[in-house]
């Protein structure tokens, strides 16, 4: 039955590795990963780091000195009228003019200047507080003690991390990995259905099936594209790991959450999820004769994937919720929800093993049942759905 499995596997894998789609998608994804892990540096190129030249119209010279001590150095005091200020702004003599009236201010500028506004608010508040303290005869040391923050140290006992930084890193890592799981499974699964339907519509399938068992053809397709998926994911993970070294936040995420255990679970649940959905995509792709119809036929499977992804997104906020625990044993949702649980909460080993066992059993059943439909589907051509299913059922017998 497995005659010609090797040649079919090798041919499919080589053709996909050499395809422009694989090369372009890999290159574009690498560029996206590079941009994502260096987003702070890219955004810095669009930021105006130079301070705008500012004029303070005030009798309180201490305010100017205070703003300079707070980090806004390009500022000076001047006694000018509003008309002179507007003329100076039009001529480019200065970029900001602030008229101080007591503990409030009126700012004129060509465009928003959030840095100046923030420093000015802080300086005005400090001047006002100093005046109130002096007028009320409050001991400054007592006031400073009242404003001293209370230190609270938090330690978490869950799998996500021992403190807020580690917990944030785990959530960020799980979110990115869930996106990778979802996109990879739906991309490579759809690729299988498209491949099968394309070969069938071009009549190439008739030549293949004449020398190879249909089940062997299905398993070779699933295995070859699965190998392609694992190779591409390995490239993405490897490049992302080294690219994140230059980003402090991304490096923190990797240090706190991106360990070997996480990668092993990711690859395990991806492989199982891929096999589960790939089998369904392959069978459904064999039941139609045109690529346009395959998209409609595989829509229920895609909706299952979307439902699992949405459940995982909601489960990020409460990974210990009973509904998340229950759905993590449902084979169609296990790849994302069980991965979510093992990364963020303490899950007993037997639960992980049970979910993997259920998935393997489900994959076996789908492959066994699907192979019978696949064997009949690839040999049937026609647009009448009732006749098509009747013919397939007869070929199963």
33, 239 contact by CB (below 8 A):
yes
Q: Where residue 107 sits, what CATH number does that domain have? A: 3.40.190
161 pLDDT exceeds 50?
Answer: no
Report which of 186, 326, 342 is spatially closest to residue 268, judged by C-alpha positions: 342
Residues 241 and 313 in one domain: yes
Give per-residue pLDDT as tens, 29-57: 888 878 777 776 666 666 555 666 777 77
Tell whether 11 is covered by a domain: no
372 has pLDDT over 50:
yes
How does residue 174 score in pLDDT terms, banded at 50, 70 and 90?
Answer: confident
Lowest mean pLDDT among 25-29, 112-116, 161-165: 161-165
Statement to judge: residues 330 and 363 lie in one domain: yes
**Is 13 within a domain?**
no
Give the model's confidence band at 18: pLDDT under 50 very low, under 70 low, under 90 confident, else very high: confident
Q: Give the separation between CA 181 and CA 166, rounded to whole angstroms.
A: 22
Number of domains in the chain: 2
Give the tokens for residue 89.
Answer: 């702004």
Is 363 part of any domain? yes
Q: Do residues 222 and 345 both lie within one domain?
A: yes
**Residue 264 sits in the same domain as residue 216:** yes
DSSP structure class, residue 246 = G
Task: Quote the CA–CA distance of 61 and 64 in Å, as a whole number.
Answer: 5
Indicate if 321 and 194 belong to the same structural domain: yes
Co-location of 314 and 375 in the same domain: yes
pLDDT for 357: 93
Q: What span, in angstroms and rounded, lies between the C-alpha atoms of 113 and 256? A: 37
Choice between 206 and 222, residue whose per-residue pLDDT is larger: 222
The confidence band for 384, taking pLDDT boundaries of 50, 70 and 90, is very low
Average pLDDT in the chain? 75
Is the pLDDT at 395 greater than 90? The verdict is no
What's the confidence (pLDDT) of residue 360?
Answer: 92
Dist CA 218 CA 278 (whole Å): 10
Neighbours of 162 (CB within 10 A): 13
Residue keyed to tokens 């979307």: 306
Tell me what pLDDT residue 256 has.
56
Sequence-ordered alpha helix ranges (H) in the chain:
5-18, 20-37, 39-44, 61-69, 82-91, 114-136, 140-147, 164-201, 204-211, 214-243, 248-257, 260-286, 291-297, 299-315, 322-327, 334-344, 349-377, 385-396
Is 111 in the same domain as 169?
A: no
Decide which of 118, 147, 176 is a domain's last residue: 147
Greater confidence (379 vs 221) lies with 221
Predicted confidence at residue 386, as pLDDT, reads 42
Q: Is residue 326 part of a domain?
A: yes
pLDDT reported for residue 296 = 76
Domain annotation covers residue 14: no
DSSP character string of 75-117: EEE----HHHHHHHHHHTS-SEEEEEETTEEEEEESS--HHHH
Q: Which residue has the tokens 């190998």?
A: 227
Give the separation between CA 286 and CA 274, rounded to whole angstroms: 18
Residue 332, CA distances (Å) to 44, 184, 274, 300 in order: 42, 15, 10, 12
97 shares its domain with 176: no
In angstroms, what CA-CA distances link 259 with 39, 237, 348? 23, 12, 19
Q: Is residue 222 part of a domain?
A: yes
Q: Please report which confidence band the pLDDT of residue 353 belongs to, taking 50, 70 and 90 as the band edges.
A: very high
In this structure, the answer to whether residues 196 and 139 fall within a common structural domain is: no
Half-sphere exposure of 392 (CA within 13 A, CB side): 24
Same domain for 336 and 373? Answer: yes
pLDDT band at 385 (very low <50, low <70, confident <90, very high): very low
Q: Token pair for residue 238? A: 């490897």
Position 356 scores a pLDDT of: 92
Give the pLDDT band of residue 16 (cuts 50, 70, 90): confident
The pTM of this model reads 0.68
Q: Whole-angstrom Cα distance, residue 185 to residue 270?
A: 7
Residue 255's pLDDT band, with cuts at 50, 70 and 90, is low
Final residue in a domain of this structure, among 147, 180, 202: 147
**CB distance 278 to 366 below 8 Å:** no
Co-location of 33 and 65 in the same domain: no
Q: Verify that 129 and 232 share a domain, yes or no.
A: no
Residue at 3 is within a domain = no
* Of 50 and 345, more confident: 345
3-state secondary structure of 348: coil
Helix (H, G, I), strand (E, B) or coil at 55: strand
Helix (H, G, I), strand (E, B) or coil at 14: helix
**Residue where a domain stops, chosen among 115, 147, 179:** 147
Do residues 302 and 310 touch, judged by C-beta distance below 8 A?
no
Per the domain annotation, does 358 fall within a domain?
A: yes
Separation of alpha carbons 163 and 257, rounded Å? 12
Domain with 104, as residue range(s), is: 54-147
């Amino acid at each position: 039955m497995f005659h010609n499995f090797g040649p079919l596997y090798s041919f499919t894998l080589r053709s996909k590795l050499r395809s422009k789609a694989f090369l372009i998608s890999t290159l574009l994804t690498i560029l996206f990963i590079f941009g994502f892990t260096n987003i702070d540096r890219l955004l810095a190129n669009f930021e105006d780091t130079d301070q705008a030249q500012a004029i303070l119209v005030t009798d309180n010279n201490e305010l100017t000195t205070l703003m300079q001590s707070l980090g806004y150095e390009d500022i000076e005091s001047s006694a000018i009228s509003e008309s002179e200020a507007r003329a100076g702004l039009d001529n480019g003599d200065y970029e900001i003019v602030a008229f101080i009236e007591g503990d409030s201010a009126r700012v004129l500028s060509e465009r928003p200047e959030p840095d100046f506004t923030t420093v000015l608010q802080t300086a005005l508040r400090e001047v006002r507080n100093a005046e109130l303290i002096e007028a009320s005869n409050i001991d400054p040391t007592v006031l400073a003690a009242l404003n001293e923050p209370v230190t609270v140290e938090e330690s978490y006992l869950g799998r996500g991390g021992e403190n807020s930084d580690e917990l944030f890193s785990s959530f960020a890592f799980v979110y990115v990995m869930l996106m990778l799981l979802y996109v990879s499974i739906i991309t490579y699964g759809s690729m299988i259905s498209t491949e099968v339907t394309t070969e069938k519509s071009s009549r190439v399938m008739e030549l293949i099936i004449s020398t190879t068992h249909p089940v062997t053809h299905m398993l070779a397709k699933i295995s070859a594209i699965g190998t392609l998926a694992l190779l591409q994911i390995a490239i993405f993970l490897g490049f992302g790991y080294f690219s994140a070294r230059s980003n402090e936040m991304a490096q923190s995420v990797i240090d706190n959450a991106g360990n070997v255990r996480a990668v092993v679970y990711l690859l395990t649940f991806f492989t199982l999820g891929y096999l589960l959905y790939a089998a369904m995509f392959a069978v459904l792709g064999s039941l139609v004769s045109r690529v346009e119809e395959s998209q409609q036929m595989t829509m229920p499977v895609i909706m299952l994937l979307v439902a699992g992804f949405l459940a995982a997104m909601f489960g990020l906020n409460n990974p210990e919720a009973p509904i998340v625990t229950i759905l993590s044993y449902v084979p169609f949702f296990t790849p994302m929800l069980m991965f979510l649980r093992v990364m963020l909460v303490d899950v007993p080993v037997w639960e992980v093993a049970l979910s993997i066992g259920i998935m393997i059993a489900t994959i076996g059943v789908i492959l066994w049942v699907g192979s019978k439909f696949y064997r009949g589907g690839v040999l049937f051509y026609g647009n009448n759905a009732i006749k098509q299913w009747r013919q397939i059922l007869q070929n199963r017998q």
